[in-house]
Structure 1
Amino acid sequence: MPSSSRDSAAGAGWHGQRPGSYESLLPPTAKKLSWFDPGTLWKARNGPLASLFGDPTGEDRRRWVKGQLDRGVPPDLMIERDDPDSFSFMLFGDTGEGDAPQYAVVPGFLKASEGTRFTVLSSDVLYPVGSANEYGTKFFQPYQRYQAPIYAIPGNHDWYDGNTGFMRVFCDAPALPPAAPPAKLSRAWWRGLLWRRPEVPDEQRLAEARALRSAPAQQAEQPGPYWAIDAGPLRIIGIDTGLLGTIDAEQGQWLRRVSQGPRPKILVTGSPIYVDNKYEPCAIEGGGTVDEIVRDPDCHYVAAIGGDIHNYQHYPVDVHGRTIQYLVSGGGGAFMHATHTIARITTGGVTEDEFRCYPLRGDSLAFYSGVYGRRFHLRRFFELTSEQATAVISKRLGIRATRGTDARVTLRVRLVAALLGVAKQRRRRSWFRLPVRKIYAQLFSPGSVTFTPPFFKSFLRLDVTPQTLRIRCFAATGNLEQELDPPVEDEIVIPLG
């Protein structure tokens, strides 16, 4: 078993290891996506506009699904597979920035995915927007050597293109006809003044991209932006939470229908239900929540896995005497969201000892201290070693250090930890914090992207038998050692009987 970040700093990818082979996979046209580029932010403007002037996602999604049903897809949006009772598949999300951190995941993913039957992408296939014209270098090329189908659910960034690119690539759907014009001076009318329209696909460019994954074993056409897969003894249900993390009434009714029955189920969602020590049950238009369905004992859910947040988190929640595993799996390639800002775990009845995350909080703090040291040209002040960061996390949160350290927690170390958003065991508002993961400063977390290891990316492998479901979280640091033999950062065994 290779050393993981829970064993040593070297297992986490620190201390000058050799970079892996991922750079040889990068296309010559690959660009470093910058979230400080005004052009990038302008492309992604539909999210803020939807928050201010109303979200059209629900209505557009209904139109997409109606168009698919008119084309003859199964009315229950079910994907029937011929998998045996024992099989494996992969799952990861938030992948496609098309640069070094995304491609650094690929070698380890291909190694760990040997023998798997398919892969599920759990949110945000492309960044900054899901244009069909960018699928070549951000989807088809990185996964061209994976010889099995890939299914996906859209994330908010895919909806920044009206979900047009996503529906074309995964569902082979034609573009939506124009909607009826809104009433003048209505909220929708004001929204439409700045709303980003979907890009028109370049057919030749898209055909060339598709050729990279054209083998018969790689083909999969899914029925819509949300779907259910019957695979062996398991049902996997993927929902589309759109721009703002909710689902429309029609999708809610469908979810209640396909969730019935004794078959064990996994929910895949673009909006995690437990994340960052918070509970976000996901509202359904017209009433109710997604988590009410997940918790219903008649639905037999064993896990709910969400993307959108770019790290790994695990909350084993007791629901009336049975455990449902709530996971975040969004570390598939995009910039890393911090974990060191997660306070001592108190939500869902989960204890700190039961909670798991990757990167570990100490590694996240060390990573961000390097980011801010370089950004402000104050490396001697900001930069912490992984040992120092691990020690100060343990002290401030009052938790046991995941791996041993004898580093001293000096005044400078404590000050950097406070500035970078590390909570204290006793909740007390800091007089000043640099923006890391808060809503009011979303720009700074995307700005954390670096192009040298360790990257702290991750992906899941799920092994299914009639009796058990085993979920393993593998690390992708970008270093050669972890690339050749990806370390396991978390492992869960769920009884299905």
Structure 2
Amino acid sequence: MASGTDVLTTPAPSGAAPPERPKGRKMVRWFDPFVLLKAGVRSTISTTIGEQADRRLLDALASPKVEPSNFSEDEAGRPREELWFDFVADLGDGWDSTYAVAQTVSRPTLTLTDETGATYETRRGEVLVFGGDEVYPEASVKEYEERTVRPWEAAMRGQGPAPHLFAIPGNHDWYDGLVSFMRLFCQGRRTAGWQMHQRRSYFAVKLPHGWWLLGTDMQLESDLDEPQVRYFQELAKQMKEEDRIILCLAEPAWLLAQVRPPGERTYLDNNLVFLEQQVLGKKVSVFLTGDIHHYRRHANEEGRQKIIAGGGGAFLHPTHVPRKEAALPEGFTPRKLFPEPAVSRRLCWRNLGFVGHTPTMGIFTGILYLLLAWMQVADLREGATVAWRLSRVLSTALVNPGVILLSVLLVLGMMALADGRFGRARWVAGLLHGVAHLAASLFVFWGAFAVTGALLPPGSVPQELFGAVLVFAGGFLLGPTLLGLYLLISLNGFGAHANEAFSSLSIPDWKNFLRLRIDRDGSLWLYPIGLRRVPRAWKRAQTVREPEWVADDKDATPPELIEPPIVIGAARTTAPRVAGRSSPEYAGPAAP
């Protein structure tokens, strides 16, 4: 039985030695019943732990100092003239996607081409920021090691000094109460992939030319705890009036607020206002976040940026979900999406092949349909017409307590699954989905025993066994197909089930991350980097100066700029080392 923890394997040609492959993990199959059950239990436990025992309070007592990591000066104490750093969020999923991003980030230099054909040369960041959800599907030492640490260590091999890593936790990192996250990222550990400095689950980094990089931890309940408030209040005292802030968040509050009822605000929304107005005392110039697994940028006329770059390795999220983006506060408007909505809409059609993406869901629905069949005692040996036999199955089902109970549970389950985006029609969508499965199970049951009755003696053991096999096979194929059709119609027709309709597909492509540079005059350059198709095949590198594995897939695409660089804080209108027709988007000074 396959699951999201399977190890990647590649069959060897007949008579040939098997090719050497990285022992990485496949993408998580989110609709695997075992993954769903385990994730649900973990989520419930972690929420309870988060409510009763907040790990951040203990860590603040253990590390009372409020001292930012200083990258505004070099080791000799001289002011830095420039600094490169990288932002990667939502990583630690399948090997192909996670390693492809890690390998791209780790290259000493990266020459990039944007959509107009213009080229830009970038350098690997001295500082690396993980922006939340560093592992999937749950936090544990083993999952971190296999899904995050190993790919990044392999990618960083031979690529120069390990970067200085700073990380904030997302909801998946909180699933064990933040224990594994703190052990890996907040104890000063040094690995082949990075070196750590932070002692809490949030951090502050002083950058050149009056820039600050702050990372927050809003926990599972979007709660900004008191020690964290005091931490950032002390930092604000060290900032000058003209200093500017880059704020890293685990969730994009400006988009998540759109799916809530009108007028309803959460701690997360209030925390951002509270941080800016009462803690930091200045507007944030750049918001960086993940959680949504694609690239999406908003900006306003002041030059302030709100950027979602959750493409570090996790499955792709759709970009064609209708959003009231024109209603974003403070004049923020959408500027760029990756992939394009038309591409996202086409990808959603893959849900029609749901059973191929998650065979274990087929096993589950096959058993479910078989249970419904076993509970029925319809006598199909009498009567000659198709209509009579089908009515016999239906009438028997309606008077069987076991069938009724299981049917009610199935329909209620589908109603609970229905997305809140349906609004008041949510129960209708769930009811129709549940009834569709019931109708399909009855049809499969009737069809299987009608076929076997024509081939084998009615009521015989061979007929019963062969009929059961056909019922299971029908449930295996038809159940997931109906689920995939429901998700397809829900998303492409009604804008609902955005998460479910794409988590079901586990798409490893369309990855992204941000490369940032503070230049000599204090301007901040943002390079959004995308990978349209990640490699599926790898071969071991020939020298120790290369990453451990190199791509061996002719269909993979090279990294590219999703859009021309965004520049904040300088009047420059042309980029260094630029060729072609394009110029970066000058966003203005983004004054505090």
Report the equivalent of 2:251.
271
Q: Which has the higher helix share?
A: 2
Report the equivalent of 1:168.
183
Preserved CA contact (<8 Å) 2:488 2:501: no
Give the aligned residue type for 1:374.
Answer: G
Report the equivalent of 2:149.
140
Per-residue CA deviations over 1:299-344 (Å, capped at 9, x if unaligned) read 25211111211111111135xxx34211112111101111111336
Preserved CA contact (<8 Å) 1:273 1:291: no
Secondary structure in structure 2 of the residue aligned to 1:305: strand
Preserved CA contact (<8 Å) 1:277 1:347: no
Among 163, 173, 189, the residue aligned to 1:158: 173
The worse-fitting range, judged by mean Cα deviation, of 99-108 and 276-285 is 276-285
CA–CA separation in structure 1 for the residues paired with 2:175 and 2:103? 29
Are 1:240 and 2:240 an aligned pair?
no
TM-score of the aligned structures, taking structure 2 as reference length: 0.56
CA–CA separation in structure 1 for the residues paired with 2:68 and 2:267? 21
Report the equivalent of 1:448.
505
The worse-fitting range, judged by mean Cα deviation, of 151-160 and 467-476 is 467-476
Preserved CA contact (<8 Å) 2:351 2:501: no
Preserved CA contact (<8 Å) 1:314 1:355: yes
Per-residue CA deviations over 1:452-486 (Å, capped at 9, x if unaligned) read xxx11100011113431111211112356875442
Report the equivalent of 1:489.
563
CA–CA separation in structure 2 for the residues paired with 1:130 and 1:342? 32
Give the aligned residue type for 1:293.
Answer: L
CA–CA separation in structure 2 for the residues paired with 1:446 and 1:337? 7
Give the aligned residue type for 1:120.
Answer: V
1:168 Cα deviation from its structure 2 partner:
0.7
Per-residue CA deviations over 1:188-233 (Å, capped at 9, x if unaligned) read xxxxxxxxxxxxxxxxxxx9xx7543xxxx4223121011011222
Q: 1:271 and 1:277, CA in 2 relative to 1: closer, same or farther beyond 3 A?
A: closer
Preserved CA contact (<8 Å) 2:83 2:126: yes
CA–CA separation in structure 2 for the residues paired with 1:278 and 1:232? 36
Preserved CA contact (<8 Å) 2:487 2:500: no
1:79 Cα deviation from its structure 2 partner:
1.6
Give the aligned residue type for 1:303.
Answer: V
Report the equivalent of 2:98.
102
Give the aligned residue type for 1:362.
Answer: A
Per-residue CA deviations over 1:101-125 (Å, capped at 9, x if unaligned) read 2223233333446342111010011
Are 1:252 and 2:229 an aligned pair?
yes
Are 1:31 and 2:26 an aligned pair?
yes
Preserved CA contact (<8 Å) 2:105 2:124: no
Preserved CA contact (<8 Å) 2:43 2:175: no
Report the equivalent of 1:114.
123
Q: 1:153 and 1:58, CA in 2 relative to 1: closer, same or farther beyond 3 A?
A: farther
CA–CA separation in structure 2 for the residues paired with 1:94 and 1:141? 16
Report the equivalent of 1:458.
512
Per-residue CA deviations over 1:134-174 (Å, capped at 9, x if unaligned) read 3333222222216312211111101102111111111128x
Preserved CA contact (<8 Å) 2:351 2:487: no
CA–CA separation in structure 1 for the residues paired with 2:285 and 2:204? 15
Preserved CA contact (<8 Å) 2:49 2:177: no
Secondary structure in structure 1 of the residue aligned to 2:232: helix
Q: 1:52 and 1:172, CA in 2 relative to 1: closer, same or farther beyond 3 A?
A: closer
Are 1:304 and 2:287 an aligned pair?
yes
Are 1:419 and 2:483 an aligned pair?
no
Preserved CA contact (<8 Å) 2:351 2:504: no
- What stretches of structure 2 of length at least 5 have no aligned partner? 1-18, 75-79, 111-121, 357-484, 535-553, 570-588
1:97 Cα deviation from its structure 2 partner:
1.0
CA–CA separation in structure 2 for the residues paired with 1:29 and 1:51? 27
Q: 1:220 and 1:418, CA in 2 relative to 1: closer, same or farther beyond 3 A?
A: closer
Preserved CA contact (<8 Å) 1:51 1:244: no
CA–CA separation in structure 2 for the residues paired with 1:253 and 1:150? 23
CA–CA separation in structure 1 for the residues paired with 2:285 and 2:568? 7
Are 1:41 and 2:36 an aligned pair?
yes
Secondary structure in structure 2 of the residue aligned to 1:373: helix
What percentage of residue pairs aligned between the two structures are identical? 23
Preserved CA contact (<8 Å) 1:277 1:343: no
The worse-fitting range, judged by mean Cα deviation, of 476-485 and 160-169 is 476-485
Report the equivalent of 1:374.
353
RMSD of aligned residue pairs (Cα, Å): 3.6
Are 1:436 and 2:436 an aligned pair?
no
Among 49, 63, 68, the residue aligned to 1:68: 63
TM-score of the aligned structures, taking structure 1 as reference length: 0.66
Larger-gyration structure (1/2): 2
Aligned pairs (5 A) from 1:323-472: 323-343=303-323, 345-348=325-328, 354-369=334-349, 371-375=350-354, 419-422=489-492, 430=494, 436-437=497-498, 442-450=499-507, 455-465=509-519, 466-472=521-527
Aligned pairs (5 A) from 1:184-333: 212-213=192-193, 218-233=194-209, 234-259=211-236, 261=239, 262=241, 263-275=243-255, 278=258, 288-294=270-276, 298-317=281-300, 322-333=302-313
CA–CA separation in structure 2 for the residues paired with 1:110 and 1:33? 24
Give the aligned residue type for 1:489.
Answer: E
Secondary structure in structure 2 of the residue aligned to 1:28: coil
Report the equivalent of 2:87.
91
Q: 1:107 and 1:477, CA in 2 relative to 1: closer, same or farther beyond 3 A?
A: farther
Secondary structure in structure 1 of the residue aligned to 2:491: coil
- What stretches of structure 1 of length at least 5 have no aligned partner? 1-23, 70-74, 174-206, 378-414, 424-429
CA–CA separation in structure 2 for the residues paired with 1:43 and 1:167? 22
Give the aligned residue type for 1:150.
Answer: L
Give aligned pairs, total.
Answer: 373
Q: 1:316 and 1:457, CA in 2 relative to 1: closer, same or farther beyond 3 A?
A: same
1:57 Cα deviation from its structure 2 partner:
7.4
Give the aligned residue type for 1:126.
Answer: V
Report the equivalent of 2:528.
473
CA–CA separation in structure 2 for the residues paired with 1:32 and 1:58? 32
Report the equivalent of 1:412.
none
1:354 Cα deviation from its structure 2 partner:
4.3
Give the aligned residue type for 2:321.
Answer: T
Q: 1:115 and 1:289, CA in 2 relative to 1: closer, same or farther beyond 3 A?
A: closer
